[in-house]
Amino acid sequence: MSDEEEQGFPVKVYVYDISRGMAAMYAPMILGINLEAIYHTSVVIYGKEYYIDQGIKCATPGTTKYGVPIEVLDLGETYVTEDIFDEFMNELKDEFKYSAIAYDLFDNNCNHFTDKVVEFSSGKNLEDRILKLPQQVLNTPNGQYLRQMLGGQIA
C-alpha cells in the first residue's frame, strides 16, 4: 500500500444481552414468542466504544457496565477520518435525539443510535434481528401491555 492510499479503520458492533439470559427463558411465557436476548449495542471504531447511556457516551472497548458482549459483529471498514467522525458525533449530541430525555425503549433506543453511526461510518446497517426486535415485541398482545406499563420511555 502506498503512503497516498487511504487507511481503513475497522467498524465493529458489540452486542450485549441486557436481560442476562432472562429474555430467552421468559419471553415464550410472557410474550408467546422466542427471544434470544434483549439487545443493547454499541459501535467500536478508532479504538473507542460509542454507546447510549443517559446520552451518548464513549469508553475503552469492553469496559462499559454492560459487561462482556455476547457477540461482536464485523461491519468492515470505514474511510471516514476520525475528525469527521467526531464532528458527526458532536452533531448527534447537539440534536438531542439520543439524549436521555428523547430515549424511547421501542422507537429511539441504543440500537437505533448504533444503526445511525454504523450507516454513517460504513454505509451498512444493523441487522434486522436486532433493530426490529422492539416491533416484534410490540406485535404481541402482551407487548402492547408492556409498552403501556413502561410508558414507552425508559431513560
The three-point CA angle 89-95-97 to 5° equals: 95
> Distance of CA 43 to CAs 69, 119, 120, Å?
12, 11, 11
Active-site choice (15, 35, 73, 110): 110
Q: Is 40 among the residues known to form the active site?
A: yes
58 as an active site residue: the answer is no
Catalytic pick among 12, 15, 37, 40: 40
How many other CB atoms are there within 10 angstroms of residue 125's CB atom?
13
Query: Which residues form the catalytic set?
Result: 40, 110
